[in-house]
Chain A
Amino acid sequence: MKEMIRVEKLNKSFGDLHVLKDIDLTVNESDVMCLVGASGSGKSTLLRCLNFLEIKDNGKVIFEGKQIEPKKDNLNEVRQQVGMVFQHFNLFPHKTVLENVIEAPMMVKKIEKKQAIEEGKELLDKVGLGDKYDVYPAKLSGGQKQRVAIARALAMKPKIMLFDEPTSALDPELVGEVLETMKKLAKEGMTMIVVTHEMGFAKEVADYTVYMHDGRIVERGPSNELFDNPKEQRTKDFLSKVL
């Protein structure tokens, strides 16, 4: 199995606040990993360290066998290969759905407009928004927005996708369509790290789940096991609270 991303002894602080403590983590190609934990436990920060929206204090981030050093490596090139989907979508409101999707391929990868449009439309068709190319984000439902955001990230042909609570901001009836899209992506073999509290999704789609508490990884294991038979007391406490 090919290793996609590995984290060794990763630490991150904001001022005096030590948010990530000696995180070790390996995600192989085509793995889907779910990340759960209480608010403030450092899940978002961990994801953001993986695509260098936050810069680690120390430790290693190794991407496809190559250690990434923020000072030496071109982080923009790394980020092109690490897609990210945000809780609040962060679509570009002044651009249509299709323009949102083709922006980065055209401006960063210098792909020709015609080709970018073709690929963009294909992606939008895939996430079920084939009829929304020319609509502005403001006109979309939350679920549709998040699917555009997924298509936008996919347009850069990333090797791994990071999802930070992609369904938390959605009305309950819209959660399903986004999870469905993510499930499809997982089936196609996309490597994914997903911060979510959707246990059903985790159990069905994720190869394993990691539980974080207070900046540390407390427990990890196959999703069914972690949710149904947690070993650590803290995991049990957490699960009994959220589920």
Chain B
Amino acid sequence: MIVGGVFSIEIFFSELIRTYPFFLEAAWLTLRITLAAVLLGTVIGVVVALIKLSGPVLKVFADIYITIIRGTPLIVQIFVLYFGFSQVIQLSPFWSASLALAVHNSAYIAEIFRGAIQSIDKGQMEAGRSLGMTSSLTMRRIIMPQAMRRAVPPLGNQFIIALKDSSLAAFVAIGELFRTAQGIAAGTFNTMETYLIVALYYLVLVMVFTWIVNRIEHRLSVSER
């Protein structure tokens, strides 16, 4: 073991080929956790952002929510959901991880949407109101579509963070990418090679994500060109 040094290029490639069925399956799980988390996180985030903008009374609750969620580590939140709530409701590892990741991201996503909504010119709301549209209709038809576009780049960024953060789900025994790497590394002692392989998987996923976000951004910017 030691003779070959910490890293062997041959082992790296042979392991890369040997382990791909496990890692592909694990990557699929990582993707599912991430997608569940960002979809749910976006829904919660939009609601929290709208609550925060709705007025001084409700804003307090949104602020408290954001402060607590942003102020505590994701791994703690996952453990609270999986172990802490286990007497009340037994969530599956998948859903504890996805929910925790969703809630965690929702705080950041809420701030992204709040910023995006507030960045829309006041004249847009006035124009809508002056045409007899209610403020909620103007919000839905005029402000939100524009805010959504502005939110795409920071949202894409947040989704990439979520994808990488999903590795923490390994700690509640989900066989996603990182957990799978841990298992393989422990079994083969090819520690460096295995973790570099899993790094590669994350890298490729992030690059695909980035590409998709860029495409969406490009699509949405049609009206500004």
For chain A, residues 64 to 100, give those with C-beta under 8 angstroms from any C-beta of chain B.
76-77, 79-84, 86, 88, 90-96
For chain B, residues 114 to 140, give those with C-beta under 8 angstroms from any C-beta of chain A.
121, 123-124, 126-134, 137
Q: Does residue A55 face the partner (Cβ distance < 8 Å to B)?
A: no
Partner of A138, one of B124, B130, B142, B224: B224
Within the complex, the shortest CB–CB distance from A64 to chain B, in Å, comes to 16
Q: Does residue B183 face the partner (Cβ distance < 8 Å to A)?
A: no
| Set of chain A residues within 8 Å of B129, measured between Cβ atoms | 53, 76, 79
A83 to B124, CA, bound (A): 15
| Set of chain B residues within 8 Å of A90, measured between Cβ atoms | 121, 123-124, 126-127
Given contact pairs A93-B223, A94-B223, A103-B141, A76 touches B132 in the complex (Cβ within 8 A): yes
Given contact pairs A80-B131, A107-B137, A92 touches B224 in the complex (Cβ within 8 A): no
| Set of chain A residues within 8 Å of B225, measured between Cβ atoms | 138
- Flag if A92 contacts B130 (CB, 8 Å): no
Q: Does residue B70 face the partner (Cβ distance < 8 Å to A)?
A: no
- Flag if B123 contacts A86 (CB, 8 Å): yes
Partner of B224, one of A79, A88, A93, A108: A93
A90 to B131, CA, bound (A): 12
| Set of chain A residues within 8 Å of B134, measured between Cβ atoms | 76
Q: Does residue A156 face the partner (Cβ distance < 8 Å to B)?
A: yes
Q: Does residue A51 face the partner (Cβ distance < 8 Å to B)?
A: yes
A108 to B121, CA, bound (A): 22
Partner of A104, one of B123, B124, B131: B131
Within the complex, the shortest CB–CB distance from B162 to chain A, in Å, comes to 27
A209 to B129, CA, bound (A): 27
| Set of chain B residues within 8 Å of A217, measured between Cβ atoms | none
- Flag if A84 contacts B130 (CB, 8 Å): yes
| Set of chain B residues within 8 Å of A156, measured between Cβ atoms | 131-132
The 4 nearest A-B residue pairs measured at CB: A80-B132, A104-B131, A90-B127, A90-B123
Q: Does residue B32 face the partner (Cβ distance < 8 Å to A)?
A: no
Q: Would you give 18 A-B contacts (Cβ < 8 Å), ordered by A? A: A51-B130, A76-B129, A76-B132, A76-B133, A80-B131, A80-B132, A82-B130, A83-B131, A90-B123, A93-B224, A94-B223, A95-B223, A103-B131, A136-B223, A138-B225, A152-B131, A153-B130, A156-B131
- Flag if B127 contacts A94 (CB, 8 Å): no
- Flag if A79 contacts B131 (CB, 8 Å): yes
| Set of chain B residues within 8 Å of A95, measured between Cβ atoms | 223
- Flag if A94 contacts B131 (CB, 8 Å): no
Nearest B residue to A109 by beta-carbon distance? B132
- Flag if A92 contacts B131 (CB, 8 Å): no
Beyond A108-B133, A137-B223, 8 additional contacts (C-beta under 8 Å) are A51-B130, A76-B129, A84-B130, A90-B121, A94-B145, A94-B149, A95-B223, A96-B223
Within the complex, the shortest CB–CB distance from B72 to chain A, in Å, comes to 37
Chain A interface residue count, CB cutoff 8 Å, equals 29
| Set of chain A residues within 8 Å of B131, measured between Cβ atoms | 79-80, 83, 103-104, 108, 152-153, 156
> For chain B, which range describes its interface: under 10, 10 to 19, 20 to 34, or 35 or more residues?
20 to 34
- Flag if B142 contacts A92 (CB, 8 Å): yes
- Flag if A107 contacts B146 (CB, 8 Å): no
| Set of chain A residues within 8 Å of B224, measured between Cβ atoms | 93, 136, 138
Interface string of A40-65 (1 = CB under 8 A from B): 00000000000101000000000000
| Set of chain B residues within 8 Å of A88, measured between Cβ atoms | 123
| Set of chain B residues within 8 Å of A103, measured between Cβ atoms | 131, 133, 141-142
| Set of chain A residues within 8 Å of B128, measured between Cβ atoms | 104
- Flag if A92 contacts B127 (CB, 8 Å): yes
Given contact pairs A76-B133, A90-B127, A107 touches B141 in the complex (Cβ within 8 A): yes
| Set of chain A residues within 8 Å of B141, measured between Cβ atoms | 103, 107
Given contact pairs A79-B132, A94-B149, A108 touches B137 in the complex (Cβ within 8 A): yes
A51 to B133, CA, bound (A): 13
| Set of chain A residues within 8 Å of B123, measured between Cβ atoms | 86, 88, 90
A92 to B139, CA, bound (A): 12
Nearest A residue to B131 by beta-carbon distance? A104
Nearest A residue to B123 by beta-carbon distance? A90
Given contact pairs A76-B133, A107-B137, A138 touches B127 in the complex (Cβ within 8 A): no
Within the complex, the shortest CB–CB distance from A95 to chain B, in Å, comes to 8
A103 to B225, CA, bound (A): 22
- Flag if B132 contacts A108 (CB, 8 Å): yes
